Chains A and B, each alone.
Chain A
Amino acid sequence: MPAPLISPSERDYITKSVQANLRADGRTRLDYRQIVLETGLISQTSGSARCRLGEGTDVLVGVKVEIGQVDIDSAGNRGKVVCNVECSPSASQQFEGRGADELNNELTQALERVLNGAQGGLNLEKLCIIQGQQCWVVYIDAIILDSAGNLLDAIFIATRAALFNTRVPKTIVQDLGDGQFEFELLDDVESAERIEGWDHVPIGITLNKIGSRYIIDATPLEELCTEAKLVVAVNRKGHLCGLQKSADGGIEPSLLTEMVQTAKSLGQSLIKQLDDQLEREEIDFNARRARGEHVEKLGFFAA
């Protein structure tokens, strides 16, 4: 299956509409499509979330925490984050067979680079159970169910929400003397805790440069017209946590600086909105459960 092509007239139409700040679907350059976000859909995971952008892009992220060995290279007191992104062949014919390998690797590396390390926000030292021996490994697996542009932003939004939803079982470490330790897992669901620092997890904003201007949340047609892409990872404090250019085009230095600034303010306000919404929903959920009501998930057919 060859990569999709775009006709010169379509390209011209999109480039001019970006210049005029009115896109084909009525958005301005810096508007997101409607974001649908739901957490806790998958019971087998420690935390999960699904993010849908408009009528298209659909990403499901499952977080699983498992006990693993501490890396010997590091100080021996850190947990690990392992990311994986997979494009489901059902999303596009292009992803069939080995077609998605390159994209999978690109998205996985982009996610891993931002989340693995100090800039990822998660307090990895708290994930260590016994120093030098065992720790929690946070596996973040994203599946692209439907692809209609701007995959990476959707992955980041869903990952952040899934980490909000993640609960890690409590452990009690016993000192057996002689420098030997043993730990016990508490299976009490209520005592399981969030991973410390989830709120410092950054999100990524992808800016697509079309003509001399740039847009966010591009549709597939707009992505085909994109000369250069800039992914900017921003956390709640407005700090930059990663910056990467992709696609086959260049950016002038002055525009680059402007794009970074725009992404920073956009990212910060988006994080705030998402956090408010997630927290409001959780309070609502807990209140309804306390009243003994059955809370139904919207599931996969949510708008």
Chain B
Amino acid sequence: MDRKRIAGPELSVPPLFDKPQIVPQELAGEGRPDGRSPEDVRPIFLKTGLINQANGSAYIELGNTKLACAVYVLFFPTHCSSAFPRLITPPPRCSYGPRQNKKQTFSNMGLLNCEFKFASFSCSKRRGNQRDSQEKEYSQILSEALAPAVRLELFPKAMIDVFVTVLENDGTASCLAGAITAASVAIADAGLEMIDQVAAVSAVERSHHLVFPQRTQSFAKDQILMDATSAEEKLETGTLVVSYMPSANEVTHVLQTGETEGPVTVQAIEQCIDACSKIYTVMSAALVESLKEGERPRV
């Protein structure tokens, strides 16, 4: 027997410490890790026509958040054909022809059927193939955010399918905001009549006295960070997603979580509305760009 070695107990457990919340160095300071100011959104890349089989599609990148959106129009609008020059002659190899609303119930308005899905590899934890309750909820939010903009009264009994796939998730709230923005552009790309484009943006509310209890003095003010990354989201006390139609001046969706004092949220909503107007210009540019390419063969 080796007597020089100190025999440890047979069973041991790691000690439990009162862990102070560890704030990564780069997030502890006043600025943001990527050098943005609190009210800056990440640079946006937005392009239509990623998916050829779809009637309309868009791809969006918000920093590392990447998602693709496809719109399939399952109807043949004969009664308002002038508004849909692209749809009068359906693309020859289009896998989706005119189709009736899958649900059997009658609806005198068109239905906006949205499906939001995180790709199984898109998040830090693997997502299942089945849509979970969060994805189902986001699907519903997506359709509620877009419905005010699309002229659904023009297509009774018909269904518009909007599929969003998140390829990379860098901030869950930004995924939802990006999905709304991209879906709006994709619907316009499909040639559907809309009242306005819907721009969406996310923000996090960070109360510093909650995150850094020991530094209340220097961080007395609550901060609103626009378009947070997932690293920033981890430290949040609340998140906010706002979607807005700039020309119609209407908020189409608001989703806020976390406890805040009223004025902070109201201010955050105002900031988001301002940011939406900026995103709107990016969306318009992407659509104009797609029209310039316009003569590119669809499908």
CB-based contact A260/B262 at 8 Å: yes
Pick the interface stretch among B44-52, B132-140, B157-165. B132-140
> Which residues of B are found within 8 Å of A257, using beta-carbon distances?
266, 269
CA distance A245 to B244 in the complex (A): 12
Check if B237 sits within 8 Å of A242, measured CB to CB. no
In this complex, the interface size class of chain B, counting residues with CB under 8 Å from chain A, is 35 or more
Q: Is the CB of B256 within 8 A of A75?
A: no
For residue B275, CB closer than 8 A to chain A, the reply is: no
Whether A178 contacts B255 by the Cβ 8 Å rule is no
Shortest Cβ distance from A247 into chain B, in angstroms?
7
B262 contact from A238, A245, A246, A248, Cβ within 8 A: A238
Q: How far is the CB of B148 from chain A (nearest CB, A)?
A: 4
Q: Are B13 and A109 in contact (CB under 8 A)?
A: no
User: Majority SS of interface residues in chain A?
Assistant: mixed
**Chain A residues with Cβ under 8 A from B265's Cβ?**
240, 243, 260
- Please, which residues of chain B bring their CB within 8 A of the CB of A3? 105, 107
Give bound CA distance, A228 to B243, whole Å.
14
Cβ of A28 under 8 Å from chain B = no
List of A residues within 8 angstroms of B258 by Cβ: 117-119, 241-242
Q: How many A-B contacts are there with CB distance less than 8 Å?
A: 112
Q: Are A246 and B144 in contact (CB under 8 A)?
A: yes
A26 — which chain B residues lie within 8 A by C-beta?
A: none
A292 contacts B by Cβ under 8 Å? no
Answer whether residue B122 sits at the interface, using C-beta atoms and an 8 A cutoff: no
Instruction: Let me know if A250 is at the binding interface, CB within 8 A.
Output: yes
Is A43 positioned at the interface, with any CB of B under 8 Å from its CB?
no
Q: A2-B105, A106-B137 are in contact. Are A244 and B270 (CB under 8 A)?
A: no
Give Cα A245 to B147, complex, Å.
Answer: 12
Report A213-252 CB contacts with B as 1/0, cut-off 8 Å. Answer: 0000000000000001010000100111111111111111
Cβ of B208 under 8 Å from chain A: no
Q: What are 10 of the A-B contact pairs (CB < 8 Å)? A: A3-B105, A75-B19, A106-B140, A131-B16, A245-B251, A246-B140, A248-B143, A251-B251, A260-B266, A261-B262
Interface residues of B (CB under 8 A from A): 9, 11-13, 15-16, 19, 105-107, 133-134, 136-137, 140, 143-144, 147-148, 152, 210, 237-238, 240, 244-245, 248-262, 265-266, 269-270, 273
Other than the known A250-B252, A252-B251, what 10 A-B pairs have Cβ atoms closer than 8 Å?
A105-B140, A106-B140, A228-B148, A240-B260, A240-B262, A248-B144, A248-B148, A251-B251, A253-B251, A264-B262
